[in-house]
Structure 1
């Protein structure tokens, strides 16, 4: 993993409430990983450091927003409704937020997904606030975002090349439309009995090829869950159930495209 430090100028940030956003204590960094590029920044000082990160899916228009803060929540894992507020526009968006407690690190990790125009607007913001249904609220000043987003894009191009995918595909081929919700392609009933017996959990990140006729071709693991049964089950289910509309590029010609998904395996 390598890290690029991006120099960013601090600027004045507007807020919609009396809660001033946290001011960054470090520079933007872009982390190169096997399954994605994460743009992040720290706020505060040790031992009370809070971080925000942006992990765009290299394929598609989904942007994962991640926060890490000190302390662990009452529940190890839960889903809550959340409201995302962007400045300077003041626009708000509703999202489901997943909250994880990481006892080994005494941290709380939250994740939410923004898609399409929301994802693009996030990467042009000057501050971001996340308010959860349980009353938790975090606000972050994010000065220098345009330059940081450009470095993030360069990282994504390098990542796609390492997978053997032409980065220009994202601009040449509109995001393929699945015929059914991707979330329905895998269910708790698919949890492998072998993995349940060994109490295996983890996250499988998979990448697959979408053929011009909308069928899924090859599927591969770009980040393993640490369990082969879990990884194999993810690809097998997606190849069996995944269907797309015919893939047409922006010139109106049949095309091949690619997509990716993070399968989070959690036992009840």
Structure 2
């Protein structure tokens, strides 16, 4: 009898323990269910807030240069200003946009820059670098000048680099400065003996025969520049003759290496081929184009994943075009 009672007691104990375990499991499930319900009901994490736009310190300053024109303006605090600059070139469908600010040394980096202004946007690659021993960091990229056409007085420009801090600035008074920049470029063109209204006389623009990236390649990298570790980005104005060849080359934004700038012009004259522009009279005509050339040494730049993906897509598109 006592053995039966002991067996019965042990059975009741096991049942009670199983019941307690089941109760804890049910309680845990209820708590988990409540947590899931709360998680489902909670709003998603908010998107990162855009930076507050920095106010300008003064007016835009338009600089007339022998090679080209630029305009710049300081924004933000007087003791740590952010300098934003535009540099446009005659006969170019791109404008160089650059930012200089105190960020410390971060090395040579390349990424993808997202540009937004008044509902318009663009994505382009950027380069970010410091001067020698300089804590001022420069970021620059090339974008479509149409983004800045007909700007309202209180427009805001937001720049979001893939590997650098985002930035927003107020563009108050920018439309007048852009008009002055356009007049400056017309004056530069006249100084080169080129009519500023040349494009108005063109019925069909000159078209490159193949991708322009094939006109200048690694074999054109000057050996002296390689030995000195020279690299950089330049812009050149090419004169396209009626036979489709580059008859004249003018470096308007130097790379920082005379050897590389000369190599770019030499390669353009040797290898670049175009279908010439056609005037409104139906005849071939001399025209001009601006090309941006990036001289790179392996391993010099830190390329983020966004940059590598962007470049890969562009190369695939160029191959598809033939």
What TM-score do the two structures reach when normalised by structure 1?
Answer: 0.82
**Post-superposition offset of 1:64:** 1.1
**Post-superposition offset of 1:206:** 2.8
2:219 corresponds to 1:172: no
Contact persistence 1:213–1:247 (CA under 8 A) = no
107, 121, 129: which one pairs with 2:147?
A: 121
From the superposition, tell whether residues 196 and 38 of structure 1 become closer, same or farther in structure 2 (CA, over 3 Å). Answer: same
> More deviation in 190-199 or 57-66?
190-199
Question: Equivalent residues in 2 for 1:24-63 (5 A)?
Answer: 24-63=56-95
From the superposition, tell whether residues 46 and 19 of structure 1 become closer, same or farther in structure 2 (CA, over 3 Å). Answer: closer
CA RMSD of aligned residues (A): 2.4
Unaligned runs of 5+ in 2: 1-47, 301-322
Q: Deviations over 1:153-185 (max 9, x none)?
A: 110011111111111113222543222332332
Aligned to 1:6: none
From the superposition, tell whether residues 240 and 150 of structure 1 become closer, same or farther in structure 2 (CA, over 3 Å). Answer: same
**Post-superposition offset of 1:222:** 4.3
Question: Equivalent residues in 2 for 1:123-202 (5 A)?
Answer: 123-125=149-151, 126-134=155-163, 136-173=165-202, 175-202=205-232
Contact persistence 1:72–1:103 (CA under 8 A) = no
**In 1: Cα distance, 2:174 partner to 2:253 partner:** 27
Aligned to 1:13: none
Q: Deviations over 1:190-235 (max 9, x none)?
A: 2111222234445544322101232211223445556443232111
From the superposition, tell whether residues 107 and 169 of structure 1 become closer, same or farther in structure 2 (CA, over 3 Å). Answer: same
Equivalent pairs, count: 247
Question: Equivalent residues in 2 for 1:251-262 (5 A)?
Answer: 251-262=281-292
**In 2: Cα distance, 1:19 partner to 1:197 partner:** 42
Unaligned runs of 5+ in 1: 1-15
**Post-superposition offset of 1:67:** 0.9
From the superposition, tell whether residues 265 and 153 of structure 1 become closer, same or farther in structure 2 (CA, over 3 Å). Answer: same
**In 1: Cα distance, 2:79 partner to 2:282 partner:** 55
- Whose Rg is larger? 2
Aligned to 1:8: none
**In 1: Cα distance, 2:66 partner to 2:105 partner:** 29
**In 2: Cα distance, 1:135 partner to 1:104 partner:** 19
**In 1: Cα distance, 2:268 partner to 2:237 partner:** 10
**In 2: Cα distance, 1:152 partner to 1:28 partner:** 10
From the superposition, tell whether residues 93 and 223 of structure 1 become closer, same or farther in structure 2 (CA, over 3 Å). Answer: closer
Aligned to 1:84: 115
Contact persistence 2:233–2:255 (CA under 8 A) = yes
246, 255, 260: which one pairs with 1:216?
A: 246
What TM-score do the two structures reach when normalised by structure 2?
Answer: 0.69
- Which is helix-richer, 1 or 2? 2
